[in-house]
Chain A
Amino acid sequence: MFSDETKQAILGSWRLVVPIAETAADLFYRRLFELRPEYRTLFPDDMSGQKRKLIKMLAFVVKSLDWLDDDWQASVAPEEDLMLVVLAMGRRHSALYRVPDESYAVVGEALVWTLDYGLGDAFTPQVRKAWIELYTLVAQAMRMGGATVERDTDLVSADDAQRQGEIALVSQQAEVGIDEARLGMREDVS
């Protein structure tokens, strides 16, 4: 779905984000609430879990881009599938959290701002373009998920995949490139 250049730009810049992931998550939410103070009430008072979720989800999205075109026929578990996980995430955001559609643009702005601020010179026009492309598509998929995904289509529905995905994320963290200890997050993730 993405060109090699885009993938490389995302993967390369993500490696720079990982060491400052905690800071980046702080910046992101600070910026988001600066842009839309009213969104603060959508989140719990204690944001640490939310920040962790954000980092993990970003890590998952980035990791899911990391495959060789030659492997296109390989089968991938549903819980590791970008489309299914993102659709389910979109459904939860719309059905559970009642997130308005216009928030996707604001979140995107906060994300790009955070990357710009956090990466400095490494946030080149190519990197910016790649992240915008990625975010636009993920946001589109989330919105589509919110609007069109069935609630209980199947036992292995997208939501189930999402649940499995979160479990898989925890077990895959080393691979994903997120080391909880480095983030100073020691609580159990359940």
Chain B
Amino acid sequence: MKIGVMHGRLREFDLGQVLQVAGLGRQYIEVEIRDDAALVGTISLKSGKVVRVDMPDAEGRSALFELFRRSDGQFYVYRADMPEYLPEPLGAVNGLLMEAMDYLRTLGPGSPRSSSRPPYTEIELPTHVGLAPPAPGSAPEPYPETVDGHQSNEGASAPVENAEPAFASSVRAALEPAQQSASVPSPMRSIPPPKPARRSAAPSNAPSATRTPSSPPPEAEPRRSVAPRTSAAPPARRTRSAPAGKIVAIASPKGGCGKTTVALNLALSLARQGRSVTLVDADINGDILSTINARQRGEIGAYDVLVGVAATEEALLDTILPHFKIMPAVGGQLPRAEQLAVDHSANWRGLLFDLSKRAEIVLVDTPAGMFGATHQILQAATHVVGILQAEAVANRSFSRFLEALRAMPDEHRPEVLGIVINMLQTKHPASLSVFQSACTELPGDWLFDTSIPRHRAFLDATQAGLPLRHLDEAAPPAVAFLFDNLAAEVVERLRLGAVEKKPQPLLL
């Protein structure tokens, strides 16, 4: 039994195209070439291989080549019953098309198909033996009545008028990189990797606070691959689709070392210094609104924007300062677990780039750890601030921070803006030794001059659900001012322009 699949005119789709499409499938297919009603030849295919070719007076390759010489006539494609015994195939469709092309070329310019147009894909598919423009008005024949009595009742109305011979090449043209460059950002890999190597800041054999002794990195200088802040070459990512402002991720491999506290108080200080700041909470667990005891305020969060159920503006909360906005992590409802499992890299990039158009600095408080969401955010961030808790466990795990950054491709890696030592206890030798080793081990300019001590004011602030400074507006705790210092350092390192100042005279 034969079942008609499609039919048309060779003027519209040439034999090469027909065989390629027939070869996509894995059915046993017969392609009949007819001239008016008369059968000229049959090509049998299975799974992209030409199994046999039959003509009244020829078979095999010579018959196939002969059929390729025809520019006129109709093709009929059927599914047919597979014979009991399949002969060794003549070859794969692609290879045979190439042979047919070669054969037609040897026929010279006088051959009926000499006006070959170029192969339609950039691959090795020279398929296209020439194609004359379609003859308007001539519809294909319906299926011959030999086919199990199935005769089409609408063959004459088949929509064949709009044949576009160069179709495939127009598809290809649209896909070619050269064509894309006008409208599509150039691919990242075309950009040369940035960066000169930086000098080593520490003796390489010293016990390191920040390296992994157990897994020596491949390079002699492990930090070489982490783009230094002083790098002359800009990170490659910027050329792809650059954020409008600075996107600074606050990250640390270990939880509980004060990322959220630093992020919140730093953002507040930056805003008080006249910067427009958006603080984005990306940490579903220990989120900022809980810290300032405003959990109920956020109805929509960053994750709602990420999964596309809310617009960016809807998730932004206003603060008492006009240029300081907060985007909570989650709204009234936690995202479903499966939504969190999805890679939101592109969405984070879209969200953060969008926010960077609205604020000079976008600070992102990331979840603990360097993978998962943090990794996705780091890819979109322009800078990263590492938080190093002055405590032994945090110190040991800090090497993860460097490893994770090193593992990122150059064009996705944010610049290291600096490392903040947090919860420093100067009277505690273990804590102090972390500080000391950070001073010697970290590249010279990574460590911020400002370190944050462990202080009971932080407890009080959390208890009150306020940023430090808001504990007592008139006389904030001394540690609150440390964040002003840190903010000034951040501004300097980000090379932001000066805020317009209006000095006020003291005397009235």
What is the interface of chain A, defined by CB distance below 8 A to chain B?
Answer: 1-3, 6, 19-20, 22-23, 26-27, 35, 64, 67, 71-76, 78, 81-84, 86-87, 94-95, 101-102, 104-106, 108-109, 112-113, 116-118, 120-121, 123-124, 128-129, 132-133, 135-141, 143-151, 153-154, 156-158, 181-184
CB of B46 within 8 A of CB of A73, answer yes
CB of B13 within 8 A of CB of A144, answer yes
CB of A148 within 8 A of CB of B160, answer yes
CB of B3 within 8 A of CB of A141, answer no
The answer to whether B247 has its CB under 8 Å from any CB of chain A is no
Contacts of B289 in A (CB 8 A): none
The answer to whether B409 has its CB under 8 Å from any CB of chain A is yes
The answer to whether B483 has its CB under 8 Å from any CB of chain A is no
The answer to whether B194 has its CB under 8 Å from any CB of chain A is no
Residue in B29, B173, B183, B342 whose CB lies within 8 Å of A182:
B342
Q: List 25 A-B contacts (CB under 8 A).
A: A1-B94, A6-B123, A19-B342, A20-B342, A26-B308, A75-B28, A81-B27, A83-B23, A83-B24, A84-B5, A84-B27, A87-B5, A94-B159, A105-B170, A105-B174, A108-B171, A113-B180, A117-B346, A118-B346, A140-B171, A148-B140, A153-B143, A158-B5, A184-B336, A184-B342
User: How distant is the Cα of A184 from the Cα of B93 in the complex, in angstroms?
Assistant: 41
User: How distant is the Cα of A113 from the Cα of B179 in the complex, in angstroms?
Assistant: 12
Contacts of A95 in B (CB 8 A): 159
Residue in B25, B168, B177, B345 whose CB lies within 8 Å of A136:
B168
In whole Å, how far is A171's beta carbon from the nearest beta carbon of chain B?
19
Whether A150 contacts B122 in the complex (CB less than 8 A), given A78-B27, A108-B175, comes out as no
Contacts of A154 in B (CB 8 A): 3-4, 150
User: How distant is the Cα of A86 from the Cα of B20 in the complex, in angstroms?
Assistant: 13
User: How distant is the Cα of A72 from the Cα of B50 in the complex, in angstroms?
Assistant: 11
Contacts of B168 in A (CB 8 A): 136, 139-140
Q: Which 4 A-B pairs have the closest CB atoms?
A: A83-B25, A105-B174, A148-B8, A1-B48
Contacts of A143 in B (CB 8 A): 167
In whole Å, how far is A67's beta carbon from the nearest beta carbon of chain B?
7
Which residues from 67 to 99 on chain B have a C-beta closer than 8 Å to any C-beta of chain A? 79, 82, 86, 89, 92-94
CB of B20 within 8 A of CB of A137, answer yes
In whole Å, how far is B297's beta carbon from the nearest beta carbon of chain A?
26
The answer to whether B325 has its CB under 8 Å from any CB of chain A is no
CB of A23 within 8 A of CB of B345, answer yes
Whether A147 contacts B158 in the complex (CB less than 8 A), given A105-B171, A140-B20, comes out as yes
User: How distant is the Cα of A145 from the Cα of B341 in the complex, in angstroms?
Assistant: 38
CB of A101 within 8 A of CB of B162, answer yes
Whether A140 contacts B17 in the complex (CB less than 8 A), given A72-B48, A147-B12, comes out as yes
Q: Which residue of A lies closest to B23 (CB)?
A: A1
Contacts of A73 in B (CB 8 A): 46-47, 82, 86
Whether A20 contacts B343 in the complex (CB less than 8 A), given A72-B47, A147-B158, A182-B338, comes out as yes
Q: Which residue of B lies closest to A180 (CB)?
A: B338
Besides A84-B27, A109-B175, 14 other A-B contacts (C-beta < 8 A): A23-B343, A23-B345, A26-B347, A82-B26, A102-B170, A108-B171, A121-B189, A136-B168, A141-B24, A145-B6, A148-B160, A150-B158, A153-B5, A154-B4
Contacts of A67 in B (CB 8 A): 26, 47
Residue in A86, A139, A150 whose CB lies within 8 Å of B4:
A150
Contacts of B347 in A (CB 8 A): 23, 26
In whole Å, how far is B327's beta carbon from the nearest beta carbon of chain A?
20
Whether A1 contacts B93 in the complex (CB less than 8 A), given A26-B308, A144-B13, comes out as yes
Contacts of A150 in B (CB 8 A): 4, 6-7, 143, 152, 154-155, 158
CB of B6 within 8 A of CB of A184, answer no
Which residues from 149 to 198 on chain B have a C-beta closer than 8 Å to any C-beta of chain A? 150, 152, 154-155, 158-160, 162-164, 167-168, 170-177, 179-180, 183-185, 187-189
User: How distant is the Cα of A133 from the Cα of B185 in the complex, in angstroms?
Assistant: 21
User: How distant is the Cα of A117 from the Cα of B240 in the complex, in angstroms?
Assistant: 10
User: How distant is the Cα of A26 from the Cα of B351 in the complex, in angstroms?
Assistant: 14
Contacts of B120 in A (CB 8 A): 136, 140
User: How distant is the Cα of A143 from the Cα of B21 in the complex, in angstroms?
Assistant: 10
In whole Å, how far is B202's beta carbon from the nearest beta carbon of chain A?
31
Contacts of B409 in A (CB 8 A): 120-121
Contact with A along B130-155 (1 / 0, CB 8 A): 00000000001001000000101011
User: How distant is the Cα of A124 from the Cα of B188 in the complex, in angstroms?
Assistant: 10
In whole Å, how far is A95's beta carbon from the nearest beta carbon of chain B?
8
In whole Å, how far is A4's beta carbon from the nearest beta carbon of chain B?
11
In whole Å, how far is B374's beta carbon from the nearest beta carbon of chain A?
17
CB of B5 within 8 A of CB of A109, answer no
Which residues from 288 to 347 on chain B have a C-beta closer than 8 Å to any C-beta of chain A? 307-308, 336, 338-339, 341-347
In whole Å, how far is B43's beta carbon from the nearest beta carbon of chain A?
14
- Tell me which of B7, B12, B27 has the highest count of chain A C-beta atoms within 10 A of its own C-beta: B27
Q: Which residue of B lies closest to A156 (CB)?
A: B3
Residue in A101, A121, A136 whose CB lies within 8 Å of B188:
A121
In whole Å, how far is B333's beta carbon from the nearest beta carbon of chain A?
14
User: How distant is the Cα of A83 from the Cα of B19 in the complex, in angstroms?
Assistant: 11
User: How distant is the Cα of A82 from the Cα of B185 in the complex, in angstroms?
Assistant: 32
